[in-house]
Structure 1
């Protein structure tokens, strides 16, 4: 890695396999983190030209990511939000993609965000906590019943947050497999084991299937509204007018997909981190009061959103570089969350880290709507798991998702001994 050029380092950000390896190893020697460290040091705002991708600026320092997030009047979400192949960008530019709230800019974004905001307030989280803790206990019980060995990702981590989201939306558990498959196909398009295919047409087909699913849900909740989040979205009004079917479906998509995939990645990555740092596992078990800071450290450590793109609305300066109107910048959250200027010993997993100014939930006006729910779920899971955990070890090689957007572990084989629940 010492011979890597800045050009090679920049192209690493557009390599799904590099992100898969980062999830497995998560140390300074991994190809992704070696590339990110090189750019943070030598060229923090770096112009990238990678085969198959439209060019972009890679933004690798914590301060610069914050600046772009803060200047949302200059750096806009539209038209290019996610780093993907150029043919996918072309498809979306031609009207081949449906927009979610994450694609919107002010003032449209502010109005759309308000629809679901009340469902994720501290008061709402207090009302939901009993249900979340019940589901956490249920899934740790399930883990205990698997005979002391399982793939923690497949059999535990993906199931718990998805059940929470289905519960919030008022959907039955019979929809679990369908929603899990569509989410994986959406976020794992670059992964041969998860994606439906890498072509723009196949990516579009996944999105169309998701939107068709939620169009049916919208019709049902408009005809028979209940007290769930799905009904609130289906019957929402913005500036006095109801959302159209595409706008409503787009809201469901971002809640149902981003609301569970990133959390499951953090839970699995958190278990992996504790396995690799047994001193921190002992520390957390001995002092449960560290759980809130441990949750923040897990989010920093995993940084499941690999990055978002923003597009400059006008010529502007960023750390001495001129970003021209129409050029895209990639906000690399895993790089920012290892910035040596912000985090002391950034490759040390520290359950008591404070302060912890991680960007795992983003920042600014686009700060993750479901951050409070994610924190509650992660905390509830580990507060249920750790008191019962007598032993845990790797039972095989972990594997990461090949992606340039949302990632983490796709396999974590573990062997363990769990005590009885309450």
Structure 2
């Protein structure tokens, strides 16, 4: 008898250990299949995932059950004029001079403070000491909230990400996420009301004051956006920092090139977004029947788009399983809606915080390279990545030679 090949199970322990081998099988043999336990169609080829992000037939209505229970209603589930208006209200704070001049000093100070805490130690768990802290601390400070609340926000961030990554439906994880939503709302709404009454120079005041054609955001909408910013902005940058450093330490010749030419930090970040993206899957919901590689997805179904698989599709990119900071196409376009990789999504829902993440990575990797020479894995080998929905090393134990004082 001939065995029937089954698609890899994206909820299995084997998949969690090594999704990239499974991605290859999915792209080649199961580019579209239905995952019964998750009640979702799974797509893995670059052209199919790219279409799901750009084609108006694919909506974000799935976020009503996926995100709204823990965030409230956010910009991600809006469409049409409502989405365009809300995006225009928040986007200016995350680009150009508004980002670099208003919030640049905050970003640089937070990175420096964290690096200074281990600068002379000679060893560090970069995930615990830096990567998970830096973007959350930046968001708290950008919002103009007390720095003494950094740890509180870090705990909320961890809880919400647990809820969003709870693909197996663990009831305790779900309940904790819902408690966090209530706690976050109780904390944020009074502070939003305070900023309306007495604006400052922080992001929370900017969001309260933002207005287009007489439209502004309600307290609830601002709170929901802050919750989304905490997780979307925190998770991508957190895992990107850990993955960029892991990839560079694992490729000493590329680390040397980046250390010598710091303009290559952007390329290292862009290549990491392709090679080992922070977010491996995003969901969509078609408003009509849609034909993709391997079959038809019916209207109203949930579609899980495997970014981690699409970014390594050999039909689209040469040498997909190699990390290469000299790869063509890793310039400025990699941080715009014209990006070739899919890590920031594409189209109308392209990540509004992409340039914030780029700025943080540039500051952070520069600071880390300035503080640490001869960086090497403490255990002699690159640590494994963990996670399914989002993915990166959960520990990054590094030994290094301290460079001396603050540069």
Q: TM-score scaled by structure 1?
A: 0.84
2:322 paired residue number: 348
Is 1:275 the counterpart of 2:249? The answer is yes
CA 1:383–1:201 in 2, change beyond 3 Å: closer, same or farther? closer
Is 1:384 the counterpart of 2:367? The answer is yes
CA 1:207–1:131 in 2, change beyond 3 Å: closer, same or farther? closer
Gaps of 5+ in 2: 331-339
CA contact (8 A) 1:222 1:235 kept: yes
- From 100, 105, 110, the equivalent of 2:74 is 100
- From 29, 43, 46, the equivalent of 1:62 is 46
CA 1:393–1:42 in 2, change beyond 3 Å: closer, same or farther? same
2:392 paired residue number: 408
- From 74, 78, 93, the equivalent of 2:61 is 78
Q: Number of paired residues?
A: 390
Is 1:358 the counterpart of 2:360? The answer is no
Question: What does residue range 178-193 of structure 1 map to in structure 2 within 5 Å?
Answer: 178-189=152-163
Deviation at 1:261, TM superposition (A): 2.0
CA contact (8 A) 2:140 2:153 kept: no
Q: TM-score scaled by structure 2?
A: 0.87
CA contact (8 A) 2:106 2:142 kept: no
CA contact (8 A) 2:71 2:227 kept: no
Gaps of 5+ in 1: 22-29, 82-87
Deviation at 1:110, TM superposition (A): 1.4
CA contact (8 A) 1:190 1:198 kept: no
Deviation at 1:208, TM superposition (A): 2.5
SS of 1:414's partner is strand
Segment of structure 1 superposing worse, 98-107 or 360-369: 98-107
CA 1:353–1:133 in 2, change beyond 3 Å: closer, same or farther? farther
| RMSD after superposition | 2.7
CA contact (8 A) 1:74 1:314 kept: yes
SS of 1:411's partner is coil
For residues 228 and 19 of structure 1, the distance between their equivalents in structure 2, rounded to whole angstroms, comes to: 43
SS of 1:326's partner is coil
For residues 43 and 205 of structure 2, the distance between their equivalents in structure 1, rounded to whole angstroms, comes to: 39
2:200 paired residue number: 226
For residues 39 and 363 of structure 1, the distance between their equivalents in structure 2, rounded to whole angstroms, comes to: 22
Is 1:153 the counterpart of 2:153? The answer is no
For residues 110 and 100 of structure 2, the distance between their equivalents in structure 1, rounded to whole angstroms, comes to: 15
